[in-house]
Amino acid sequence: MAVLDILRYPDTRLHTVAKPVKQVDERVRTLVADMAQTMYAAPGIGLAATQVDVHEQVIVIDLSDARDHLQVFINPVIIAHSDERADGEEGCLSVPGIYDEVERFARITVRALNLDGQPFELEASGLLAVCIQHEMDHLKGKVFVQYLSRLKQSRIRGKMAKLDRQVA
Ligand code: NI
């Protein structure tokens, strides 16, 4: 397993649209293991393959306190959602230190493949619903800050550029 580099906003590669996984094989299982290790090391609660510059539809999430409940979604599709929407504060490993409110569906039903390539459906609400929608946006090339005002986005790009200078 390996800890992978996470792309940072406004890296244009974050806007790549991910392709569906054709076959859930050892290559994909290795990618999932590396993504999980990368998410735990960060640490974060969710990661999309897009963020590690792999443009295939793979998401890992772990909302447990003990960090021992990995949830994997391959080729996820939202097949139903509530009319109700909810505002929640979001952050992102690709936009470190930035948190803001985003409106999402309050409840969703997602269909995806598991690590064995078998389809499953899951109903989610609360933080899990937020997290799945946030990570699925990554697969579509969308970062949560794109829901914010242009002024906020511009400020965030400035903060990220400052971070880059500190690292360099
Ligand atoms: Ni994110």
8 phi, psi to nearest 5 deg:
-115, 135
Given the residues 84, 90, 121, 135, select the one marked as catalytic: 135
Please give the average per-residue pLDDT across 97-122, as a whole number.
Answer: 98
- The domains found in the chain, sorted by start residue, are 12-167 (3.90.45.10)
C-alpha of residue 46 to centroid of ligand 1, in Å = 7
Q: How many CB atoms lie within 10 A of CB 104?
A: 21
- Cα–ligand 1 centroid distance for 137 (angstroms): 8
Q: What is the mean pLDDT of the chain?
A: 97
pTM (two decimals): 0.96
Question: Cβ(93)–Cβ(42) under 8 Å?
Answer: yes
- Give pLDDT, residue 76: 98
